[in-house]
Amino acid sequence: MTIRVARSACALLSFVSPVALAAQSAPIRSTIARTPGAWTDTARTPTERADALAKAMTQAEKLAYVHGFFPPMAKPQAPDMIPSAGYVPGVPRLGIPTLRESDASLGVANQVEQRKGDVATALPASLATAASFDPDIAYAGGAMAGAEARAKTFNVLLAGGVNLTRDAWNGRNFEYLGEDPLLTGIMGGASIRGVQSNHIVSTIKHFVLNSQETGRAILDARIDRTALRESDLLAFEIAIAEGKPGSVMCAYNRIDGDYACENKFLLTDVLRGDWKYPGFVMSDWGAVHSTEKAANAGLDQESGQELDSKIFFGKPLVDAIAAGRVSTARLDEMVHRILTGVIASGLYDDPTPAAAQTIDYAAHAEIAQRAAEAGIVLLKNTGDVLPLAKTARSIVVIGGHADVGVLSGGGSSQVRSVGGIPIEIPLKSGAAASFARITYHASSPLRAIQALASKAKVSFVDGRDPAAAATAARGADIAIVFATHWQTEAQDTPSLSLPDGQDAVIDAVAASNRHTVVVLETGGPVLMPWVDRVPAIVEAWYPGQRGGEAIARVLFGDIDASGRLPISFPRTIDQLPRPRPVESPNGSTKNDASANAGAGDAAALAAYPVTYQEGADVGYRWYATRKDRPLFPFGYGLSYAKMRIAKARFVGGTAASVTFEVTNQGTRAGTVIPQLYATLPDGGAPRLVGWARRSLPAGATATVTISADPRILARWRERGWQVAGGAYTLTLATDADHPVASGKVTLDGRSLQSARAALDTQ
Ligand code: BGC
């Protein structure tokens, strides 16, 4: 069974969800009817309670809790099953909840409208949230998605995507948080904390190195282990420490030969041994390939079992235990870890309601809009074309379907947004065809622009014809071109160029109007051959269901442009570590069904190695090691305010930090995101070790301190993390490429643990 076929099954369902129908009904309180025991004693730790609970379960109950259904394909259907990603029946007599799983990277997902009429609030792309550099924004988005999930009776959210962007080509970059382990870890952790503030479980995913979509089920990621510790694993380590997710989702791919979901080094040595992670490991959907190898390596729960080539944790696990190939102690541990996640998140004591509750969609739309606004990045603003004057007499808006909505990314994260879907285009082919459609949220930038420039004549041309666009632009005060680049799970992008002749439209418009603004709706970097010919460029990402309003507010300066790039934008593809679109083993750049197959087919295909020769030097560090400069660097973004950073004082000793003054010398309020980078005593590329986000009124000065996070100052040594003693170069900068001040400090050598303690006592 391939994912392609399986996903088609959900597309065919025309199911009217009781949840959707009841979505506006009165709140229903859940009641807990469970046998009391040590497990109900909230004075005990989650581990102690899970111990007691696991002991009270029968062997059959334990075996049933370690594998879950994919509801669209499950037979028979349980009465309370609704189409979504997963369902694991609970044990009511002990109060062990049925796990009801939904995707939720950007809000509660409802791909291909498998639950007819069930809408949810669509956040902007995670990459946009990362661009805010604001953990509070990430937390608020997670808390909102978690609240909606809970109200829809879901209690496990498949959220928390923290894979680092190693390839600009990766079709899922929009679902992740960029290329830096610290930014990713902090923002990912905050979002998970937000989800779990609703007393439900969040995952963190995809553990690890699912860095491309092409051939994801057969890809064998090859990387030096120390480099892995200091990059992708570090992002997970930080996010897990910050967010304490109840569950980790292991990835599709192999790492150094072993599948992620049967990789002992990852699941046992690192996750449990080094990180002391107490929660459970669930598989990605269709990512299990064995019974005893997976169970003994540390996989605790097989997800969406119908998508695997067979059910590995059902009868085969019973047999493996009977034959002693998997110990009963290991089964106990699997169950114990699931229960620990369930108890520690608060779900056990505060179960989700049996029927749907009312959702305050209006309040949630505001959260989505704040996130979109905070993540919009002003890339270029020559001659202060922006912010636009509200007194403009004529504005022409061109392309990108800006008359009706904003683009979203595709795949399992797809939210069916409140407000509607004005455009939905099915795919004719490719691995994503069965579960992704090119989808726009109904948030019209055109209407939002008109609302803010009520005296202007605002017109729209669709941008299909460069000459017509140029003619319309010629007579206008301002021309705004909306350019889109769609990306989706299950397919990498075949090109970083804007598709469908949009470059030609931008060139034609810029040639006929000096006041041309390009607004990009993309899931990552795109090439900009016209960059020198366009005075103003705004990166709005996939901005979610209030994206139109957010873009308009930034264009008119109702709020500052405050986002910063969480990802480098190359000038040419030759600058990238893998400068060509990734190829699947059969030579195609597309992630065709065979390269994305489930276990049975995948096993038949030869392993597909991809070597990450850049090691830990991901993104901006890759450019630094090569002494190369991207078009727009990591951390970059302009503000409408004129911020001046001065009087930097760098401090070393037991912990590293910088203190400085920032003054808003402009005439409008603005936001500044100064960043601290460190070069370690043994050299190498500078690393982001901290940042601050401050909003200042015009004329104001603030004193700011940024402490260097010891987790990034440390290097992985055989026996663990070590902050080396010696001279560190600290650089205060506005982005990875633009230093403001730098200084050398000496740090005492110590273990990471003691370096963190030193920081805490500062
Ligand atoms: C994706 C996961 C997702 C799961 C369930 C997989 O294809 O990789 O991110 O959570 O499906 O829908």
pLDDT at 252: 97
Examine the pLDDT at 79 and tell me if it is beyond 90: yes
Examine the pLDDT at 425 and tell me if it is beyond 60: yes
Contact 174, 523 (CB under 8 A): yes
Give the span between the Cα atoms of 140 and 145, in whole angstroms: 9
Distance 85 CA to ligand 1 centre (A): 8
Ligand 1: nearest atom to the Cα of 251: 8
pLDDT in tens, 2-52: 233 344 333 323 333 333 333 333 334 455 678 999 999 999 999 999 999
State if residue 412 touches ligand 1 by the CB under 6 angstroms criterion. yes
pLDDT in tens, 281-296: 999 999 999 999 999 9
Q: Percent of the chain, pLDDT > 90?
A: 89
Examine the pLDDT at 607 and tell me if it is beyond 90: no
For ligand 1, atom 11, name the residue with the nearest CA. Answer: 285
DSSP letters for 44-100: S-HHHHHHHHHHHS-HHHHHHHTB-B-TTT-SSPPTT--SSSEEE--BGGGTBPPEE
Give the span between the Cα atoms of 467 and 321, in whole angstroms: 71
Contact 151, 357 (CB under 8 A): yes
For residues 93-103, give the mean pLDDT: 98
State if residue 103 touches ligand 1 by the CB under 6 angstroms criterion. yes
Distance 84 CA to ligand 1 centre (A): 11
pLDDT in tens, 446-483: 999 999 999 999 999 999 999 999 999 999 999 999 99
Distance 87 CA to ligand 1 centre (A): 14
pLDDT at 584: 65
Ligand 1: nearest atom to the Cα of 158: 10
Examine the pLDDT at 598 and tell me if it is beyond 60: no
The two tokens of residue 529 are: 């051959």
pLDDT in tens, 528-555: 999 999 999 999 999 999 999 999 999 9
State if residue 285 touches ligand 1 by the CB under 6 angstroms criterion. yes
Distance 701 CA to ligand 1 centre (A): 46
Band (652; pLDDT cuts 50, 70, 90): very high
State if residue 380 touches ligand 1 by the CB under 6 angstroms criterion. no
- Mean pLDDT, the chain, rounded, equals 93
Contact 519, 445 (CB under 8 A): yes
Examine the pLDDT at 1 and tell me if it is beyond 50: no
- Give, for ligand 1, the residue of 412, 415, 434 to mutate: max count of ligand atoms closer than 8 Å to Cβ: 412
- Give, for ligand 1, the residue of 103, 108, 204 to mutate: max count of ligand atoms closer than 8 Å to Cβ: 103
Ligand 1: nearest atom to the Cα of 175: 9
Distance 746 CA to ligand 1 centre (A): 45
State if residue 261 touches ligand 1 by the CB under 6 angstroms criterion. no
Measured torsion, CA atoms of residues 234, 235, 239, 242, in degrees rounded to the nearest 10 = 50
Question: Partners of 721 in the beta sheet?
Answer: 716
For residues 132-150, give the mean pLDDT: 98
Q: Give the pTM.
A: 0.95
Ligand 1: nearest atom to the Cα of 252: 8
pLDDT in tens, 661-718: 999 999 999 999 999 999 999 999 999 999 999 999 999 999 999 999 999 999 999 8
pLDDT at 606: 59
For residues 735-741, give the mean pLDDT: 98
